[in-house]
Amino acid sequence: MDFPWPNIGTALADVLTPMPVIDETRLAANIARAQTYLNGHGKAFRPHIKTHKIPAVARQQTDAGAIGINCQKVTEAEVFADAGFDDILITYNILGAARVARLKALNARVAKLRVVADNPVTVDGLAKAFGTGKPLCVLVECDTGAGRCGVQSPDAAVALARQIADASGLTFGGLLTYPAVGGAAAVETFLQDTMGKLAALGIDCPMRSNGGSPDLFSAHLVPSATEHRAGTYVYNDRSMVRAGECGPDDIAMHVLATVVSRPTETRAVLDAGSKALTSDLLGFADHGEIAGLPGARITGLSEEHAVVDLTGCSGPLPAVGAQVQIIPNHTCVVSNLFDHMVFHRDGIVTRVEPVAARGTVW
């Protein structure tokens, strides 16, 4: 397949659809706004690269003052290590000899690499591989209400911290949580309790990492956290507007699409399906919003089609061939579908970046 991405200087109206595009002005403003807020509260910022998966965008984030980056998988971190990032936190239980061996190779070449664990099996596997060479820094992941990974109590966190501290090839780095939205009080209580118990045992707990874009601008409500992690804030999306974390004018990603069919007066079909948007609903009843077309509802997606119900629209309706801009429900998952990402300023393409860490699930 030839390269379908546009040249620099192309107008968005001439870009082959479906194509996600990033507004440079809004991107820069989102990066600055988050960093300024966290600087103002004396908290370190560690952006999660899952949203963009692009080293050049991560460099914009660290240039603005972020102390390092957050990855989810070893292969994802390898991409950013290759690009020169030297402070990487992998927020995942890394299991299996093959994967841990790759982690060990990564640890040898990244100045500050940290991982998390929430169970003794993970810590055992790491301890076996890291008996020799540069020690690995491991944080304990805590479940403060989100109901995903994490130890369930401060006592369990302390027990795991002791296991890490006692392993010769590991160092205990601190505590980490990916909290429930609005869970600041629960996070602070969990961290304080655990820090108290660790202090009583003489175990140092240097890093307390809190996270999530929906809670980014309430990071100051968790004084015990030393840093905050967030991904989605960099592009923003429909879910972030709903969460009140940004306004519609802060959304940097749109998915350009073309009306390919108007079978009835009230139905339009777009060329952006689940291969362009994914089917992530994030609690919405439909699959994204169409900018400038209030009342239109994307009621269904198949792989290459979006079906739009125009019943609720007033005013002129888009004809076959018209280009529209979709505000996706969830921006991070869109980035994972495209090999390159198109950036623009005022509707003129400024650069096309490889999405270098697309597809890194290992």
**What are the residues binding a second copy (CB under 8 A)?**
1-2, 4, 14, 16-18, 50, 72-73, 75, 78-79, 92-93, 95-96, 98-99, 102, 118-119, 121-122, 125, 143, 147-152, 258, 260-264, 267, 269, 271-276, 278-281, 300, 302-305, 307, 319-321, 332-333, 336-339, 357, 359-362
Q: 326 vs 333, which CB is nearer to a second copy?
A: 333
Q: How far is it, in rounded angstroms, from Cα 94 to Cα 328?
A: 31
Least distance between a second copy and beta carbon 352 (Å): 14
**Spatial contact of 113 and 107, defined as CB atoms under 8 Å apart:** yes
Least distance between a second copy and beta carbon 92 (Å): 7
Smallest CA-to-CA distance from 53 within 70, 41, 66 is with 70
Computed over its alpha carbons, how large is the radius of gyration of the chain?
A: 22
Q: 30 vs 258, which CB is nearer to a second copy?
A: 258
Q: 38 vs 298, which CB is nearer to a second copy?
A: 298
Least distance between a second copy and beta carbon 3 (Å): 10
Least distance between a second copy and beta carbon 251 (Å): 20
Letter for the amino acid at 177? T
**Spatial contact of 86 and 109, defined as CB atoms under 8 Å apart:** no
Q: 38 vs 307, which CB is nearer to a second copy?
A: 307
Dihedral over alpha carbons 233, 238, 243, 247 (to 10 degrees)? 70
Q: 13 vs 200, which CB is nearer to a second copy?
A: 13
Q: How far is it, in rounded angstroms, from Cα 273 to Cα 61?
A: 31
Least distance between a second copy and beta carbon 253 (Å): 16
Smallest CA-to-CA distance from 114 within 53, 61, 67 is with 67
For residue 58, the cross-strand partners are none
- The torsion region of residue 144 among left (phi > 0), alpha (psi -120 to 50) and beta comes to alpha
Least distance between a second copy and beta carbon 224 (Å): 22
Q: Give the DSSP letter of residue 156.
A: H
Question: Sign of the C-alpha dihedral, residues 75, 79, 81, 82?
Answer: positive
Least distance between a second copy and beta carbon 198 (Å): 20
Q: 5 vs 343, which CB is nearer to a second copy?
A: 5
Q: 64 vs 282, which CB is nearer to a second copy?
A: 282
For residue 229, the cross-strand partners are 46, 211
